[in-house]
Amino acid sequence: MCGIAGIVNLSASAPPSRDALEFMAGALEHRGPDEFGLYLDRHCGLGHSRLSIIDLSTGQQPLANEDGTLWISFNGEIFNYVELRAELETLGHRFRTKSDTEVIVHAWEAWGEAAFERMNGQWAVALWDSTTRTFVLARDRVGVRPVFMLEHEGRLYFASEVKALFAGAPGFSRELDPIGLDETFTFWTVVPPQSVFKGVRELEPGHVAVWRNGLFVHDVAFWAPKYPVGAEHRFNGTLDEATDALTNALETATKLRMVRADVPVGSYLSGGLDSSLVAALASRAKPSGFRTFSLRFADAEYDETPYQRAMVERLGTEHAEVVVSRKDIADVFPKVIRHTERPVLRTAPAPLFLLSKLVHDSGIKVVLTGEGADEMLAGYDLFREARVRRFWARQPDSKWRHRLLERLYPYLSRSPVSQQALTRQFFGRGLERAKLPGFSHETRWNGTAALKRLFSPEVTAAVAGFDARAKLLGSLPTEFASWPHLAQDQYLEVRTLLSGYLLSSQGDRMLMGNSVEGRFPFLDREVMALANSLPPSFKLKVLDEKHVLKRVARGLVTDEILKRPKQPYRAPDALSFIGPTRPEWVDEAMSEAALKTSGVFAPGPVGALWKKCLTRANDDQFSNTDNMAVVGILSTQLVHQQLVRETPSTKRPPFKTVVVKLG
């Protein structure tokens, strides 16, 4: 895994700045501390920071084709590169390295943009053809790996992280974007290409963008999820056959992610179904000396230690764990936000950052995780909630249908279904829209959007007339209305929370912040295609979430895990930032002066919320919305301080590979 960066001339005449390229690579050192490379000609510069995982001796980047005309800077892994290489060799291509990076170069020469459809992996790719002055950016199907862009003074800057963009273009005006903030405080995340910074765009997952001779050509999707429409794209076998097919697909995906690495691979083990199954499948590929890592909490409400240790005993892995307290979360939160580069509404990324540090300190560069299972196989309470609400909508006056909601959210101490009257009032809103797009997510989006009451008058005015939900729903594919309701719900979850939050703020950024690569078997190309093709009842059988996956897991994970109620990963939120041990930065960020400096939030309402937090955070009167508000304000304040106010990095790493062609 790596960091990529670069500069492409659009209308500027002078060559890109070598200093800027070095600063950009230096800002990404945490993503790839092993080696650094640079390519520079009169029209393009590419930078690279490498975390060596495949072909340790000859996989340096930027890397070129045989005649040195096509160059690449690549972040990620192509897990089927061995098979693609064999196919390319039959077409006459010759290779001088054993890396997946070189396979991408030859695949582009052979197939052009269609090459990305053939790849099974996770990537952000930058390609530069110096003969035709063609520049290409591409990103994997669901956005596991990030890439951002900005245009400044006739040049296109791109990088794995925004901080590298700012390091390369110090004259660029760094400002928070009210539209990006509005999306964040609606969906928990921005939806690419939107970002939280004015003038900065994020390449959409599953897209490839092309520029030629300084002119933009297009930005198009090479992949989009396909769900059953009648018999089309539908798995036609029985539930038993689906169980076998999913077992085989997951075994293959997990084994690929184990064997396609020249360094040891470990696994996260949360105590839930998904990571336990991945660890069980991975341990088959490495029956001895397999490493697992768990996150524990000092707060019993969030801790899953008994389930974790039961799986460790079953698998016999070499296990390590880290215990995280509220104080740990508060202390590390500024560093966490420096890596997320965007506001977050939960503290959940912070413990994961500490877990990846444990992995790094244990000498492991690669871990498998269970991300994607809930989205692909309908594991969230949100999907069950939507099913109940649609059932209720058929008879909105029913006195018992809404009571099915009482089976949801058992893990929340302040559950929204704890009182019947409140349940009817909260979840009964908008039942008449049960057949409309976005119905499944309305309760979440409405709850999050309530936080925007805290915006300053300036931000409120800037987003007046903007409707984040209308923008998202207006961009849905034409076939959306033909999909089953569950498929519609899954698509929205993948489009928003998976790509923008789980794989970013909780995933790539927390892992790469400690130079650790995450690999996700549930997001394998073949696993996703199979999961999307399954009938809804195989995934959500009445209210039994991930029904087919539980069948796959029989005999592989402990009975306690199979039978336990769904408990998503969570961490203490506002409670982490109160009490006598809270660090000074918390009160500074919440001060009237700091709030006025950032200009995002109104000091009066925030002050009232913060006073309530300090006195009532342990009280039932302090709601889930209040919790999100506190975390959202603190994280936004840190983003402004660290990425808007602070001077960009001018660190220069030691370059091993330097190719300069300015003649």
Please report where in the chains the tokens 């690999």 appear, as a residue. Answer: 519
Of residues 648 and 417, more confidently modeled: 648
- How far apart CA 21 and CA 41 sit, in angstroms, is 12
Residue 177 phi/psi, 5-degree rounding, is -100, 120
Half-sphere exposure in the Cβ direction for 9 (13 Å, CA): 16
- How far apart CA 398 and CA 366 sit, in angstroms, is 52
pLDDT > 90? residue 634: yes
| pTM of the shown model | 0.95
**Residue 362 neighbours by CB under 8 Å, 6+ apart:** 266, 291, 293, 320
Q: What residue ranges define each of the domains in the chain, with the CATH number in brackets? A: 239-376+496-563 (3.40.50.620)
- How far apart CA 399 and CA 455 sit, in angstroms, is 39
Sign of the CA dihedral with 412 first, then 368, 501, and 438 last: negative
Of residues 569 and 176, more confidently modeled: 176
Mean pLDDT of 111-133: 97
Out of 80-84, 282-286, 437-441, 467-471, least confident range: 282-286
The amino acid at residue 649 is S
- How far apart CA 147 and CA 124 sit, in angstroms, is 6
pLDDT > 70? residue 138: yes
Q: Kindly report the average pLDDT of the chain as a whole number.
A: 94
Return the pLDDT at 415. 54
Out of 49-53, 78-82, 419-423, 564-568, least confident range: 419-423
Sheet with 265-268: list strands edge to edge.
Answer: 318-324, 291-297, 265-268, 366-368, 517-519
In DSSP terms, which residues pair with 126 in a beta bridge? 73, 137
- How far apart CA 43 and CA 14 sit, in angstroms, is 8
pLDDT in tens, 5-16: 999 999 999 999
pLDDT in tens, 35-74: 999 999 999 999 999 988 877 777 899 999 999 999 999 9
- How far apart CA 294 and CA 638 sit, in angstroms, is 28
| Extended beta strands in 348-399, E state | 366-368
pLDDT band at 583 (very low <50, low <70, confident <90, very high): very high
pLDDT > 80? residue 419: no
pLDDT > 60? residue 267: yes
Our separate counts of H helices and E strands in the chain read 27, 18
Mean pLDDT of 231-259: 95
In DSSP terms, which residues pair with 517 in a beta bridge? 366
Highest mean pLDDT: which of 229-243, 519-533, 570-584? 519-533
- How far apart CA 312 and CA 290 sit, in angstroms, is 11
**DSSP per-residue codes, 89-105:** HHTT---SS--HHHHHH
pLDDT > 80? residue 627: yes
- CA torsion angle 17 134 78 363 (round to 10): 0
Going by their DSSP bridges, the two strands 657-661 and 35-41 should be labelled as: parallel
Return the pLDDT at 366. 97
- How far apart CA 307 and CA 350 sit, in angstroms, is 22
Mean pLDDT of 628-643: 98
Interhelix angle for 442-449 vs 624-639, to 10°? 60
pLDDT > 60? residue 418: no
Half-sphere exposure in the Cβ direction for 654 (13 Å, CA): 4
Of residues 454 and 424, more confidently modeled: 454
pLDDT band at 1 (very low <50, low <70, confident <90, very high): low
- How far apart CA 598 and CA 600 sit, in angstroms, is 6
pLDDT in tens, 175-206: 999 999 999 999 999 999 999 999 999 999 99
pLDDT in tens, 284-313: 888 778 999 999 999 999 999 999 999 999
Return the pLDDT at 422. 58
pLDDT > 60? residue 546: yes
Mean pLDDT of 136-153: 98
Sign of the CA dihedral with 109 first, then 110, 114, and 116 last: negative
Cβ pair 58, 100 in contact under 8 A:
no
pLDDT in tens, 341-392: 999 999 999 999 999 999 999 999 999 999 999 999 999 999 999 998 998 8
DSSP H or E run through 125? strand 121-129
3-state secondary structure of 623: coil
- Picking from 80, 151, 79, 139, the residue whose alpha carbon sits closest to that of residue 113 is 139
